[in-house]
Structure 1
Amino acid sequence: MSWAGAVPALVLAAVVAALTVHSHVNATRWLRRTPAQATVDEPVSVLLPLRDEADRLTPCLRSLLAQRGVPGLEIVVLDDGSTDGTADMVRTVAAGDPRLRLLTGAPPPPGWLGKPYACQQLAEAATAEASALVFVDADVVLNPYAVAGAVAALRTARATLLTPYPRIVTGSVGERLVQPLLQWTWLTFLPLRAMERSPRPSLAAAGGQFLVVDRAGYQRAGGHAAVRDRILEDIELARAVKRADGRIALADGSGLADCRMYGSWVELRDGYTKSLWASFGSPVGAASVVALLLLLYTVPPLLAVAAAVAGAVPLALAASVAYLLGVAGRLVSARASGGRRWPDVLAHPLSVALLGWLTLRSYHLRRRRRLFWRGRPVL
């Protein structure tokens, strides 16, 4: 077989190369950094929504109580209808610390999803003096200067909303395959500097695990009431901020916080299934994106093996280059976000294939109205 027959694979390799270069530029030039140690003199409210988190909230809560560099810090915790003793665990860990207030959440009204309503209640309960709000999930563990560093980064960026993306911690094989795709997708496909400068709401990204907002800008955007029925409330909040003429930004928060979002493959599967359908706009959009990802990142190694068996050396070489360029892009993402590198990056084609399956499952269960999370229906 001549090199002419390898042209399609060479085209794939060229596209993957361009995306890998883009991820490198994002990671080395445009991705904001957060200070490892900072001090802020403005009052800050840290807001922690909890629902059945008794088995894992202790490290998070202890890390919040150990925060430094924020003299005007308060911690507001909301127990959102837990049935596993979450509130009692909060009281035990807090041990009467006067900086912490524990609230009992009300059930979400019609038209509201659970987490947006919990966050709205927390924001309304924050002390009136707080000029910055920091939303944290129970699976996040912060270093002692994380809150100060996040608020300092928000002010340095002159942003209304900033996500200091935490380092993703993984345990099971499924987590190691899927979780790194969170950072990889926006580093590869999202032009970070353009996202910050553009007023377009569609050009937005955010992560609700650890998110800091200017309170006045948050209120102008309508708060979580503006995203009351959105399953991806973090991204939709970023879009609402843009609609209110605010600015958003992403930052590397891997030095500030760790986050293990799911404790097992089953939790991860169900967590992604509940929300992936909302990530693409429509089933057609989802099918198009998944097909493109599979073509760019999963097809090349399969093609390389098939071509090598058939003796088509040029095609096998071109497809192998495309595969290795994809691995290089995953490696860039891992280095930029503090994630695992070897041998996980070599399984990138399998990661993309698994994401495709999770997307299909999400749409399938949504169509059957069988999507639930934490005992509540998603739809």
Structure 2
Amino acid sequence: MDFSPVWIGGLCLFGLLIQGSGALVVLSRLMKGAVRRSPLTPQASNSDNLAAVTVVVPSLNEVERIQPCLDGLSQQSYEVREILVVDSNSTDGTREKVLAKAATDPRFRLLTDDPLPQGWVGRPWALNWGFEHSSPDSEWILGVDADTQPQRGMIASVLQAAEEEGFDLVSLSPQFILRSPGEWWLQPALLMTLLFRFDVAGIRQPDQDSVMANGQCFLCRRKVLENVGGYRSAAGSFCDDVTLARNIAKAGYRVGFLDGAKIIKVRMYEGMRETWDEWGRSLDLKDATSRTELWGQLWLLTMVQGLPIPLTMLLFGGIEEGLSNPFLSGWLDLNVFLLLVRFGMLLAISGSYDRQFSVGKSAWLFWLSPFADPFAVARIFLSARQKPKAWRGRVYS
């Protein structure tokens, strides 16, 4: 007796159920976006926030990227009390660029942190150094990465949003600057691994147990940082921004993640290879996530991002070859639906990319990034199994 139709039907039903459950999780998160806060826009200064902010910029050999950050911070208004660039003994001319800016804007100060202690990662160590050497009169501490390009009115805007929403900590998603064809194809697929796992930026009532954060622009009340011991709870984390944000949320403070594409830009990595190696190394967020949660997220990514393209091709081929089964058709319909959702999300995040720096006409590859999804999911799996041994010019034991 030929049981193949029964076997095929059972397999398709199983696949439909397990993949459908992942689709429901994603859809429930995306539905929250219907009432999210609109992207932040540059704002005029508010006299109530006079000298309210200390900006801390960690740096290590950033001479090729730091100038737009220094220029952008210099354009911020009187909310800024001081701008502390904490440099870890750069040897490439970074320090000279900071000193040149300090000569024209007295708010800038160049600090040199002590050698990295055992158990610390370089970035949280530099941020903590800046926090501990900041003016006690600053109500807010703003961490900004050296590869960002703050736009005029950024700090006024994020301060206003934090106060309106009642956040004790708020970070921003930026607008990405991509150049090479490989970046345009791969980077949006890697970004999508975050969008499938967590609430989208701008959610007014984010899930505080799995809140998202971005250290490229990370504003926190001074008293909150003091109460949680500064950056120490994220000392050894390679995703210190998310780790610290979740620790602060667990301590009972309100944490938000907003869309800042109109007020801050970032050029993170040079080329497809560096994007794969460096960003892919931290996107699993394993340092901020329990092992059970991590593998649950990997399952979800596999169901809703990694499999839809290959399964659509496979199932459509089966129907073309004459296989007839209602569960097979339903499974195919589900994967086509997931692909439509994926392309819809691509349209929704298109504003998060600055196309003026694209090499040639390579920006069109952004629209083909869903075909990089299986590789992006595979990269998260690879990263989840390994602890980084090198990061931003440092080697860790």
TM-score range for the pair, normalised by the shorter chain length: 0.7 to 0.9
Q: Is contact 1:183-1:337 (8 Å) kept?
A: no
TM-score normalized by the length of structure 2 = 0.81
Q: 2:372 aligns with which of 334, 350, 353?
A: 350
- Measured in 1, the distance between the counterparts of 2:258 and 2:279 equals 23
Deviation at 1:221, TM superposition (A): 1.7
- Measured in 2, the distance between the counterparts of 1:327 and 1:305 equals 16
Q: Which moved more, 1:341-350 or 1:111-120?
A: 341-350
Q: Look up the match of 1:40.
A: 46
Q: Look up the match of 2:382.
A: 361
Matches within 5 A, 1:299-314: 299-310=307-318, 311=320, 312=323, 314=329
Q: Look up the match of 1:85.
A: 93
Q: Which moved more, 1:237-246 or 1:46-55?
A: 237-246
**How many equivalent residue pairs?**
372
- Measured in 2, the distance between the counterparts of 1:149 and 1:195 equals 16
Q: Is contact 1:24-1:329 (8 Å) kept?
A: no
Deviation at 1:255, TM superposition (A): 0.9
**Structure 2 counterpart of 1:54, one-letter code:** V
Q: Look up the match of 1:237.
A: 244
Q: 1:99 aligns with which of 107, 115, 126?
A: 107
Q: Which moved more, 1:117-126 or 1:294-303?
A: 294-303
Distance 1:197 1:358, change over 3 A: closer
Give ranges in structure 1 of 5+ residues lacking alignment.
Answer: none
Q: Is contact 2:184-2:369 (8 Å) kept?
A: no
State the Cα deviation string for residues 111-147 of structure 1 (Å, max 9, x = none). Answer: 2221111001111122222111111001110111001
- For the pair 1:267 / 2:274, whether they are aligned, the reply is yes
**Structure 2 counterpart of 1:230, one-letter code:** S
TM-score normalized by the length of structure 1 = 0.84
Q: Is contact 1:254-1:337 (8 Å) kept?
A: yes
Deviation at 1:291, TM superposition (A): 4.1
Q: Look up the match of 1:324.
A: 339
Q: Is contact 1:187-1:333 (8 Å) kept?
A: no
Matches within 5 A, 1:208-227: 208-227=215-234
Deviation at 1:323, TM superposition (A): 4.3
Distance 1:55 1:211, change over 3 A: same
Q: Which moved more, 1:113-122 or 1:11-20?
A: 11-20
- Measured in 1, the distance between the counterparts of 2:118 and 2:85 equals 23
Deviation at 1:338, TM superposition (A): 5.2
Q: Which moved more, 1:163-172 or 1:129-138?
A: 163-172
Give the fraction of aligned pairs with identical amino acids, expressed as a percent. Answer: 27
Larger Rg: 2
Q: Is contact 1:24-1:332 (8 Å) kept?
A: no
Q: 2:157 aligns with which of 139, 149, 155?
A: 149
- Measured in 1, the distance between the counterparts of 2:135 and 2:128 equals 14
- Measured in 2, the distance between the counterparts of 1:131 and 1:282 equals 32
- Measured in 1, the distance between the counterparts of 2:197 and 2:273 equals 28
- Measured in 1, the distance between the counterparts of 2:377 and 2:224 equals 36
Q: Is contact 1:23-1:332 (8 Å) kept?
A: no
Q: Look up the match of 1:375.
A: 393
**Structure 2 counterpart of 1:210, one-letter code:** C
Runs of 4+ in 1 over 6 A off after TM superposition: 3-6, 192-195
Q: Is contact 1:137-1:210 (8 Å) kept?
A: yes
**Structure 2 counterpart of 1:226, one-letter code:** S
Q: Which moved more, 1:311-320 or 1:145-154?
A: 311-320
CA RMSD of the aligned region, Å? 3.3
Deviation at 1:300, TM superposition (A): 2.7
- Measured in 1, the distance between the counterparts of 2:16 and 2:332 equals 9
Deviation at 1:52, TM superposition (A): 0.7
Deviation at 1:178, TM superposition (A): 4.2
Partner SS, residue 304 of structure 1: helix
Deviation at 1:4, TM superposition (A): 6.8
- Measured in 1, the distance between the counterparts of 2:90 and 2:218 equals 23
Deviation at 1:321, TM superposition (A): 1.9
Q: Look up the match of 2:74.
A: 65
Distance 1:308 1:316, change over 3 A: farther
Q: Look up the match of 2:305.
A: 297
**Structure 1 counterpart of 2:349, one-letter code:** A
- For the pair 1:54 / 2:76, whether they are aligned, the reply is no
Q: Look up the match of 1:334.
A: 349
Distance 1:273 1:372, change over 3 A: farther
Give ranges in structure 2 of 5+ residues lacking alignment.
Answer: 356-362
State the Cα deviation string for residues 267-305 of structure 1 (Å, max 9, x = none). Answer: 222313543464274667655533442332332322332
Partner SS, residue 168 of structure 1: strand
Matches within 5 A, 1:183-194: 184-191=192-199
Distance 1:244 1:96, change over 3 A: same
Partner SS, residue 96 of structure 2: helix
Q: 2:214 aligns with which of 184, 207, 210?
A: 207
Q: Is contact 1:12-1:296 (8 Å) kept?
A: no
- Measured in 1, the distance between the counterparts of 2:24 and 2:353 equals 23
- Measured in 1, the distance between the counterparts of 2:250 and 2:22 equals 33
Deviation at 1:327, TM superposition (A): 2.1
Distance 1:309 1:241, change over 3 A: closer
Deviation at 1:308, TM superposition (A): 3.5
Q: Is contact 1:303-1:319 (8 Å) kept?
A: no
Deviation at 1:358, TM superposition (A): 2.1
Deviation at 1:91, TM superposition (A): 1.9
